[in-house]
Homo-oligomer: A and B are copies of this chain.
Amino acid sequence: MGITKTQHFTEEQNELAVLAKALGHPARIAIIEHLIKVDSCICGDLVNELPLAQPTVSQHLKELKNAGLIKGNFEGASICYCLNEEGFEKIKSFFTLINTYLENRKDQCC
Contact = CB atoms under 8 A, between A and B. Distances in A.
Interface in A63-92: 71-73, 75, 80-85, 88, 91-92
Copies, count? 2
Given A52-B5, A109-B73, A98 B27 contact: no
Contacts of A32: 98
Interface of A: 4-6, 8-10, 13-14, 16-18, 20-30, 32-33, 36, 39-41, 51-52, 71-73, 75, 80-85, 88, 91-92, 95, 97-99, 101-102, 105, 107-110
Given A17-B29, A81-B110, 16 more contacts: A4-B25, A4-B26, A5-B51, A9-B51, A13-B30, A14-B26, A20-B24, A21-B24, A32-B98, A40-B107, A41-B110, A82-B108, A82-B109, A83-B101, A83-B105, A88-B99
